[in-house]
Amino acid sequence: MVNGTVQTLTIAGTDSGGGAGVMADIKTMQERHVFSAAVVVAVTAQNTLGVADFMAMPKKMIDEQFKSVAEDLKIRAAKTGMLADVPTVEAVVENLKKYDLGPLTVDPVMIAKGGARLLSEDAIQTVKTELLPLATILTPNLPEAEELTGMQIKSEDDMKTAAQKLQDMGVKNVLVKGGHNISEGKSSDFVLLEDGNSFWVTSPRVDTNRTHGTGDTLSSCITAELAKGKSVEDAIRIGKRYVSATIADGIQVGHGHGPLNHWAKIEGENDDD
Ligand SMILES: Nc1ncnc2c1ncn2[C@@H]1O[C@H](COP(=O)(O)OP(=O)(O)O)[C@@H](O)[C@H]1O
Ligand SMILES: Cc1ncc(COP(=O)(O)O)c(N)n1
């Protein structure tokens, strides 16, 4: 069965605290029953209280990791997370063009919950012009959608407008995440699909600061479901249900923005789904 195992790839930064980045991605993939490889493009010294420091990998190490993965594994879907700076974004784009890694989910990570910049300001333009055209799905949170579109997002209508603007910039499918407190009592994300259809995915807002790694977890779950062959719409709906479960059923780790409970189950789902 080895060749039949569904394989995915995360291209992101590590989190020494275990809650976000590559660590959250691999935990999510494991729970969604797909195998995950990892190209580490940056290392962070981080915990639930914040990011103390980070270091981007040299281009040669990024290239060698892509080569090692691509030569041996059959990746069915991939995702990007923290990409640090211009040379790192450029190295990742070059490798994404070189290897067939299946549908790509781009989580345009810019600023951590604690406030640290994880993507340099000048790299935002590189992401826009070079990475976004490669994305099957783009999953910005509200500050990221504001940066990418240049508009302010203060309402659900603004979220719809931002999604349309991002699609006009050449992105196929857009998921604008509403975790940053726009709607009372609920956490609603707006989805605009390639075919023009749109819908909201909504969950009750959980009153908690244990939301470290929510974006990574959502985008990894979407990637896992795409790798299994699910449609973009189904992958997003499953991703939203999974991330909601991991937030609602919390664990106690650390003293700040705590990590999610990746063991949480989607209600009604069987273990072999
Ligand atoms: N307090 C919360 N309660 C319920 N869902 C949340 C909460 N915070 C975030 N979410 C959900 O988690 C997912 C990630 O959103 P968000 O936190 O905006 O992303 P990011 O981690 O990139 O900032 C979205 O589906 C969002 O609706
Ligand atoms: C390596 C890495 N990647 C991504 C995030 C974003 O996660 P969050 O916005 O939940 O802090 C992070 N803090 N660290």
> Which pLDDT score, from 0 to 100, does residue 202 have?
95
Burial label for 236, CB within 10 Å (0-12, 13-18, 19+), is buried
Pairwise CA distance, residues 109 & 92, whole Å? 14
Pocket test for ligand 1, best of 51, 82, 138, 214 (most atoms within 8 A of CB): 214
Written as six digits, the tokens of 222 are 């979407």
The CA 4 to ligand 2 mean position distance, Å, reads 31
Asked if the model's pLDDT at residue 59 lies above 50, the reply is: yes
List the residue whose alpha carbon is closest to atom 8 of ligand 1.
179
Residue 58 binned pLDDT confidence (cut-offs 50, 70, 90): very high
List the residue whose alpha carbon is closest to atom 2 of ligand 2.
21
Contacts of 33-36 with CB under 8 Å at 24 or more apart are 33/6, 33/224, 33/272, 34/5, 34/6, 34/7, 34/8, 34/76, 34/224, 34/227, 34/228, 35/5, 35/6, 35/7, 35/8, 36/7, 36/8, 36/9, 36/10, 36/220, 36/224
Burial label for 52, CB within 10 Å (0-12, 13-18, 19+), is exposed
Could you please report the per-residue DSSP string of 83-127?
A: -BSHHHHHHHHHHHHHS---SEEE----B-TTS-BSB-TTHHHHI
The CA 215 to ligand 1 mean position distance, Å, reads 6
- Cβ(174) – ligand 2 distance below 6 Å: no
Give pLDDT tens digits for 109-144. 999 988 899 999 999 999 999 999 999 999 999 999
Residue 184 binned pLDDT confidence (cut-offs 50, 70, 90): confident
Whether domain 2-248 has CATH 3.40.1190.20: the reply is yes
Q: Please answer whether residues 28 and 79 qualify as being in contact, where contact means their C-beta atoms are separated by less than 8 angstroms.
A: no
Ligand nearest to the CA of 236: 1
Predicted-complex ipTM score: 0.98
| Closest-CA residue to 261 (of 200, 226, 198, 217) | 217
Q: Which residues line ligand 1 (CB under 6 A)?
A: 141, 177-180, 187, 189, 203, 205-206, 208, 211, 214-215, 218, 240, 243-244, 247
